[in-house]
Structure 1
């Protein structure tokens, strides 16, 4: 498991982020980088000279074949248009769940649908007899 965690961290560090880096930022330097890896948890953080930053904490949940990593963190970058984006996220058994002011959100559920669902929950369908 420790090898898996280290491999994930190396892959993240080597990931191609050129699609979010402006050409003027091609010479950006890493100004801060912290990594702490243990057998059942990890955390990392980095910041670059052009304002990109990220941090994440994760831990092993479960054991054996049912083991999985649950992580939470955030990252920040500036778009080519000059707008700063902040994303917070959780990644667990429910998938990657980002949150950010710029991300689209689903429309609210109409009141009639909510009432219908509540009615169905209160009046479950009875099994039919043959």
Structure 2
């Protein structure tokens, strides 16, 4: 009888533990504009609160300095319950992220 009570207690604890919501997440928003010319943009959001968006444009078109310039952001809730958000730009100067939780390089 004691083993049954222990087993029932273990099952009750296992049922009470929240499941990882990202395993069951679904896309609740998806926008995409990519015709393959002069840039693109997209935005996506999932039911577990993750979000991402990005816009890109082609710069210096027709020159040897032609490049793509990108701006974007993403956010998610960490295991500690804090929402982490990152914004970034990327181009000829490289990838440059910013976020409250990221270290700032010395000037």
How many Å separate the matches in 1 of 2:105 and 2:65?
32
| CA deviation profile, 1:86-128 (whole Å, cap 9, x unmatched) | 1110011001100111101135x6xxxxxxxxxxxxxxxxxxx
Using the alignment, how far apart are the partners of 1:69 and 1:48 within structure 2? 27
Unpaired runs of 5+ residues, structure 1, are 1-21, 110-130
Q: Which has the higher helix share?
A: 1
Which of the numbers 44, 48, 51 marks the counterpart of 1:50? 48
Matches of 2:80 and 2:46, distance apart in 1: 18
In the alignment, does 2:68 pair up with 1:69?
yes
For normalisation by structure 1, the TM-score amounts to 0.61
Corresponding position of 1:105: 104
**Matched residues in 1 for 2:45 and 2:21: separation?**
17
Matches within 5 A, 1:1-130: 23-38=20-35, 39-62=37-60, 63=62, 65-107=64-106
* Root-mean-square deviation (Å): 1.8
Q: Which runs of 4+ in 1 moved over 3 A?
A: none
Runs of at least 5 residues in structure 2 that lack an aligned partner in the other structure: 1-18
> Between Structure 1 and Structure 2, which shows a larger proportion of strand residues?
2
